[in-house]
Each structure stands twice: as structure tokens, then as C-alpha cells.
Amino acid sequence: MNTKKISYLGLLIALAFVLSYVEALLPISIGIPGMKIGLANLVVMVALYTIGSKNAFMLSVVRVLLVSLTFGNFAMMLYSMAGALLSFVVMFVAKRSKKFSITGVSVLGGVFHNVGQIIVAIFVLETSKLVYYLPVLIIVGTITGMVIGLVAGMIIKRIGGWKDICYGSKSSM
Amino acid sequence: MKKNDVILIASLLIICAISLLAIKLWQKQSTTDKSYVRVEVDGKVYGTYPLNEERTEKIQFENGSYNVLVIKDGKADITEASCPDQICVRHMPIHYSDESIVCLPNKLTVTVVGGQENEIDATTN
Ligand SMILES: [Zn+2]
């Protein structure tokens, strides 16, 4: 990993951290646990398509740790981590399969982020009643994932050129 | 967007909209005038309160955190809580059977129980 790559990753982590903070400030919660707009997923998507899956994975783990340590508590970290990991795995597989464009990958990421959190909540609280939240969570995840996917697509297109300057034209990893 | 993206988005939205509707109808159907709320902390029943009696209950935990449950006009609501995310406070008041309010940081759930005879027997035994 060269210096440029490290600083780029650092920049993305900082950006993801800021977006998580912004999202926490937005008073849009309707009281359903696990519901997120997933602004930070925008950064994870950009990382996944520009600096590869390993770095994108590191980014999403570090982001959850930073955000939970700063704004939350241990229990909340568990939920965020479950959401982030499940979402990442699904996005990774969906991207690999080449069956979906950036938008589709982002939709799956958004949906499984919410689903992952509610699954942990079901186990921790031992309340199966939380499955009733699934349809709402999936609808919200689909819509936000769609918007974030479209924005991520635009960013990735533009970063593409800059990335080539950084790593040379053969930057796939 | 690829064709697969469109199929994915459309099917997610349609399936979830239908199940949401079905869940709401079913919850409405199984609600009776004997409905009560069950408060559970960490998976254990903390208390049950009838929905047709007004009351305010402060659920206090050993570590200083708390949730305030208010039952009014046949609806249960968390009006105040010590949790950092305040998700439970933002939830709308609940009324129909199986609706619930959750506070993850305090491991607390408030659930409406329909109040059919067999359900009461099952919980009191
Ligand atoms: Zn709460």
C-alpha cells in the first residue's frame, strides 16, 4: 500500500465518519430500531469500486468502531457492526456476481444493513415480534440504497480519472 | 441501471408493501378491548398493564437508565428515556396487537398483547 493509497483511505474514513455524524444529527427517525439512511454507505460504495474490497471492508469496520466509540455505547456497536458486516458481504457478492449495476449493489447494501441490525436485535432482546418491522426496514433500505447508488455512481465516474493518476491505469486489485 | 436492478427494486418494494398491509390488517384484527401492554427487560417480563387504564410507569434500571411508559387513550407510548439514541421516544404510540416499541440500549420492549382469553391464560400460567 503506497502513501497515496493510505491517505486516500484515511480521507474516505474521515468522510464516512462525518456522514455518520450528520446522519445521527438528522431528526428523521420514526422510532424503528435499525433504520438508517446509510449516508456512510456512500463512502463504502465509492471505496468498493475504487480501491478494492479489502480496503472497503477495512473502511466499514473502522467507521463503525469510530462512530460507536464516539457517539454510542457497546450495545449499539454490536448492532451497527452486524448491519455493516452483513451489508458489506452482500454488496461484495452482488458486485462479484456482475448481475447488478452500482445501483443494485447499493440497494442490496442498504436493505441488508437494516436487516442485519434487526436480526441482532431479535436475538439480543429475544423478541420475534421485531420481524414485523422488516417490511418497513426493507422499503426504506431500498429507497435510500437507490438514491445513494445513483450518487455513488456519479462520484465513482469522476474519481475514476483521479484514481488512475494515483495508482496508474492498472489499478484493479 | 441494469434490468436486474429494476427487477430487484420493484420486487422488494411490491413484496414489502403487500406484507406490510397484511401485517397491519392482521394486527388490527387480533386487537380486542381487553388488550394490554407487556413490558419486557432483557427478555424477561417486567410488568403487564391494561391499555384501557391511564397510567405513567417509570421503568428504572440499576445503572441509572430509565424509560417512562405512558398509557393514555388506549395507547401506550414511551415519552422519556435515558438512552442516547432516543429511538424509543420517537416511536409513535402503539395500540394494535403485536405492535411494539423497542429500546435497544436499555434492552426494553413494550408490546401490545391482543387480549384474547387464551393469550391471557398463557401469560399468567
Ligand atoms: Zn430508547
Domains of chain B: total: 1
Give per-residue burial for A132-155: e unless 16+ CB within 10 Å, then b. Answer: bbbbbbbbbbbbbbbbbbebbbeb
For the stretch B81-120, pLDDT in tens is 998 888 899 999 999 998 999 998 888 999 999 866 444 4
Residue B123: inside a domain: no
Tell whether the model's pLDDT for residue A45 goes beyond 80. yes
Does any domain span residue B105? yes
Judged by average pLDDT, the poorest of A67-76, A104-113, A127-136, B66-75 is: A67-76
Query: Does the beta carbon of B5 lie under 8 angstroms from any beta carbon of chain A?
Result: yes
Instruction: Identify all chain B residues contacting A33, using CB atoms and an 8 Å cutoff.
Output: 87, 102, 104
How remote is the CA of residue A45 from the centroid of ligand 1, in Å?
30
- Residue at B17 is within a domain: no
Q: Which one-letter DSSP state was computed for residue A130?
A: G
Pair A66, B91: CB distance under 8 Å: no
pLDDT band at A20 (very low <50, low <70, confident <90, very high): confident
Domain presence at residue B84 = yes
Residue B85 lies in a domain: yes
Residue B64 lies in a domain: yes
Find chain B residues with C-beta within 8 A of A127's C-beta: 40, 43, 100, 102, 109, 111
d(CA B97, CA B29): 8
Specify the DSSP class assigned to residue B94. Answer: B
Distance, CA of A167 to chain centre? 24
Give the residue, A43 or B121, on which the prediction is more confident. Answer: A43
Q: Enter the C-alpha cell of residue B85.
A: 439514541
Q: Is A131 on the interface with B (CB under 8 A)?
A: no
CA within 13 Å, CB half, A44: 32
Find where cell 457492526 sits. Answer: A81
This model of the complex carries an ipTM of: 0.83
The CATH number of residue B73's host domain is: 2.60.320.10
Task: Using DSSP, state whether B98 is helix, strand or coil.
Answer: coil
Nearest CA-CA distance, residue B107 and chain A, Å: 6
Report pLDDT digits (tens) over A143-156: 999 999 999 999 88
- Do residue A76 and residue B13 have CB atoms under 8 angstroms apart? no
- Quote the DSSP letter at residue B92: P
State which residues form the domain around B59.
35-113
Q: How much is the pLDDT for A164?
A: 61
The mean per-residue pLDDT over the stretch B66-86 comes to 93
Rounded to the nearest integer, the mean pLDDT of chain A is 85
Does B79 map to a domain? yes
DSSP code at position A101: -
DSSP helix/strand/coil, B58:
strand
Percent of chain A past pLDDT 90, that is, above it, reads 43
Give me the residue label for grid cell 420492549.
B109
Cβ-contact B97, B117 below 8 angstroms: no
Structural domains of chain A in order of their starting residue, each with its CATH number? 3-167 (1.10.1760.20)
Interchain contact A146–B (C-beta under 8 A)? yes
Determine, yes or no, domain membership for B29: no
